Amino acid sequence: MTKAKFTPSARWHGSEEDFMKMVTNFFLYDYEDRGMVKWQGYFLSDHTAALKQQAAQEATHYPPLPMMSDEDIRSTLAQAYQNGNTVSIQVDYTNTDGNYQAPYRGKVAGYAGADTAVLDTGEMVSIMDMRHVDLVPLPAERL
């Protein structure tokens, strides 16, 4: 790879060394980098909307639902699987603030082994991690 030949502008009449000193001084003393401000215009509206949605979801608090027995959880999942019902599953996990995460929601598509439910959303939830399972009623217009 060859070094490009120095060509300042047609108006520059000094040496390459003088030009480089001038450029160096400009960036050292005169140029003020605006930091992140200059990149704000590059955020896409979809990205901004996704960030807002994530912040809203993280700000939402989900109260703890009553702890169900293993037998009741399995029975509710089996009923949902047989009838094609949608379920809402709250797992027994909290974040560092002590808040429960958003419940999993979907139809039970099957099981992976004896202790893991597979939802139609592709999520796999261990029955041992489930705190509460509810059947989600159909909207009135679909009845």
pLDDT in tens, 94-111: 887 788 888 999 999 999
In a domain, 47, yes or no: yes
Q: What is the pLDDT of residue 5?
A: 59
In a domain, 127, yes or no: yes
In a domain, 138, yes or no: yes
In a domain, 9, yes or no: no
In a domain, 45, yes or no: yes
Q: What is the pLDDT of residue 140?
A: 54
Query: How many domains would you assign to the chain?
Result: 2
129, 97: one domain: yes
Whether residue 86 contacts residue 105, with contact meaning beta carbons closer than 8 Å, is answered with: yes
Q: What is the pLDDT of residue 57?
A: 73
Q: What is the pLDDT of residue 112?
A: 92
110, 54: one domain: no
130, 104: one domain: yes
45, 90: one domain: no
Whether residue 127 contacts residue 104, with contact meaning beta carbons closer than 8 Å, is answered with: no
109, 80: one domain: yes
Residue 85 tokens, joined: 């019902």
77, 130: one domain: yes
In a domain, 6, yes or no: no
Tens digit of each residue's pLDDT (9 = 90 or more) over 20-75 = 888 888 888 887 776 666 666 666 777 778 888 888 777 778 889 999 999 999 99
State which amino acid sits at residue 4: A
For the cut 90, the answer to whether the pLDDT of residue 133 exceeds it is yes
Range of the domain at 31: 16-59
In a domain, 5, yes or no: no
Mean pLDDT (whole number) for 78-91: 94
For the cut 90, the answer to whether the pLDDT of residue 1 exceeds it is no
Instruction: For the beta carbon of residue 127, count every other beta carbon within 10 angstroms.
Output: 17
In a domain, 20, yes or no: yes
